[in-house]
Structure 1
Amino acid sequence: MRSQIELIDVSGAKRRRRQKRRRRLRLVFRIFAAVFLLGVLGRLLWGTGFMEELSAFTKLPWPFGSKEEQEQLEQIYAKEDSYPPELLEALEKNPELLSFVEGYLSSDGSVTGGLTEEELSQDFPLLLQYDARWGYAPYGDNNIALSGCAPTCLSMVVTALRKNGDAPPNVVADYAMERGYYQDGVGTMWSLMTEGAPDFGVRGEEIGLDKNLIFARLEEGSPIICSMRPGDFTTTGHFIVLVGIQDGKIVVNDPYSRERSEKLWDYETLEYQIKNLWAFSLL
């Protein structure tokens, strides 16, 4: 049995960790607010190009740090102990998760909606794994918001090619778990892209990391799912979709970041970060 001193030490350590996390989050949001004010000043002094340049330099989502968002953050940390630590850590790294985290405690983990007519009408809709419609649903040892990048990418591909709403991220995630394409401690297996894809009416073909080949496939209208190394998109592992070419650069749908999805990417920037890739077409 633990002594009273040991229990006090454990309690104190937890309290110090919570305090440290609060200070870190508050500092991050204050930085966002300061950058926002600098951006407003920049618009007045140097024109509309300043905001884009500043955002690219800081690599922060834009805009951020509003009064409403500050209040959301305070509400979350008033109930800090009720949230999984990994969810708060994810919020620290990606402020786009703010609304998702705020709604976490009121969700029962169920799916609340499917794809919209607007999404179905787009050539390549951007679907986000932390979308409240499906992000709270379980996937592997977590939920789709934190672990479901691969199913969300395949969902985007199927939706773009087949033009129907039969394969939202939660449906692909359920399929991946039921068929053994998710491995605990590892994540989504690459075989989902080739062996699993035909069950959704598309063909996934592993291709080589070659600029001319990639550009040719994208110009043909074939989306490409990439497994990514640590870099601009991840610190561990991640999946993204290459969906087209614009002004000689690659258009990316990143299921974990709207901000990164709005940016055009040089092939040379992506090349060293790509671990493997698959081009998709209709069966």
Structure 2
Amino acid sequence: MTEITRRFVEANGLRVHLAEAGDGPLVLLLHGFPETSYNWRHQMAPLAAAGYHVVAPDQRGYGRTSRPERIEDYTILHLVGDVVALIEALGERQAVVVGHDWGGPVAWHTAMFRPDLVRGVVSLSSPTGPRASRPPLGLLRARLGEGFYMNYFQQPGVADPVLERDLPTTFRRIMYGLSGEAPALIPVVREGTEPMDMFPEPDRLPGWLSEDDIAAYAAEFAESGFTGPLNWYRNLDRNWALTAAFDGARITPPALFIGGDKDLNVAVAGPDMEARMRAVVPDLRDVVLLRDTGHWVAEERPAEVNAHLIDFLKSL
């Protein structure tokens, strides 16, 4: 059985906690919000057994990795810098970078900024596309209102304590609420409500999610809290400004997208999602939409995700 080990490395001024398995070409697995390296518990051993050195870090602000205090220390430049420094810290010259949710934009931007370091890029649940015409928070506000969750998250100290109040309930409701088994939801915090009111309380957990999984996430966030993860959202407009020089740039490494057909991100992207991705990713090898699957594709459909990942890795 493939052994998964854990250790800390120094990278980009951070003490980075990571899970690691296998030998061979490097594959970095970047989790999203609100998860940790535990996101990839179903991928580590199969990818290692297929002949890869698989590394899943807790990203900046998450889990047991360093948590800078300043909001402006969580820009996309910092996050890509963490990936670049981690590749070097692991003694490698290149990696395939795989990201889920917020890890997807980090993977896409790493491939755009440093294609010399990226053998291939995979995004789960986070499509990409041409640069927005103006800062994203204004666009989101105009389309979905001030209560849209990304806008709501902007004010420091507001969402943070609400999400931290009862961590098992937070993770139970978010994980179920964004899955393929839950009713479709509108991610808007209505006046007089709180973020958790968006998510239903499940009568029972889906088969892919256990009480042990919820306890594992709750234990990590009991230590780290939500402020670091929320600070990623608090840089959305700053990221747009910082990346102005890359307007029109292409993501040139070979790429793969995997999403769920019931994922809110896919629904928001709309019917032209694939065309928009291909406009900036000329070597997009495939766009895979898994049926009856929500946002947590790596956990909801691990066997299918692993098969697609391994096929893509072997094609490089």
**Global fold match (TM > 0.5):** no
Bigger fraction of residues in helix: 1
Greater Rg over alpha carbons, structure: 1
TM-score, normalised with respect to structure 1 = 0.28
Considering Cα pairs closer than 8 Å and 6+ residues apart, tell me whether 1 or 2 has the greater RCO.
2
